[in-house]
Amino acid sequence: AHDLLGMVYFSGQKQPTEAVEEITKAIELNPNEPQAYYHLALVHQTQGKLAEAEQALKRAIELSPRFEDAHFTLAKLYERNRAAEKSIQAYRALLAVKPGHQGALYSLGYLYDSQGKGAQAREVLEQLTKANPRHADGWYLLGRIAEKENRLTPATEFYRLAIATKPDLVDAHYNLGFIYRSNGKQDAA
């Protein structure tokens, strides 16, 4: 009840201080409840108390190693703080729990790409698009990687797949047009 009341304070009434008090009471009454630690982490995160959020998420995962939301939130927390290696480890831990987690696969692909690790990015993004052929952002990122590697035929196909899945994906249209133009296909561009 204290945990739920804390979430009402947090979500409904935007009173984070009261939320922390109630969730902390819930943890005092039941220190082995991972959901309460997860909720506490969410409140701390919005308050900018990132170290406290990290510790609460780690405790939630310790209590419930298959807690997908806690893994994903921890990975995102590291990613926002530009702790790429910790973020990668957290996404990998989540993928060990749930191998097809689309958010983790996409984010991991994005991180690998930003680090210049094209082969690793491609590998996880191919897993993602195989599991969900309608993941437009996954196709788009595969297109960008192929284009950076000067593999224009696959880049063209990936951009087309991104557009077919999400017709208003402007960047895919632009990049596809650029490839067409550079290949002398003005009408297609």
Across the range 44-55, mean pLDDT stands at 95
pLDDT of residue 113: 96
Give pLDDT tens digits for 53-70.
999 999 999 999 999 999
Query: 5, 3, 50: which is closest to 28 by C-alpha?
Result: 3
The pLDDT of residue 82 is: 92
DSSP, res 67:
-
Across residues 89-114, what is the average pLDDT? 96
| pLDDT at site 12 | 80
d(CA 124, CA 58): 25
Minimal CA–CA distance to 19: which of 47, 46, 40? Answer: 40
- Is the pLDDT at 36 greater than 90? The verdict is yes
pLDDT at 78 over 90: yes
Sequence-distant (6+) residues with CB within 8 A of 89 are: none
Q: What's the whole-number mean pLDDT along residues 146-157?
A: 96
Can you give the pTM of this predicted structure?
A: 0.88
Mean pLDDT of 91-99: 96
pLDDT of residue 141: 97
pLDDT of residue 14: 85
User: pLDDT tens-digit profile of 9-26?
Assistant: 998 878 899 999 999 999
Per-residue pLDDT tens over the stretch 125-149 = 999 999 999 999 999 999 999 999 9
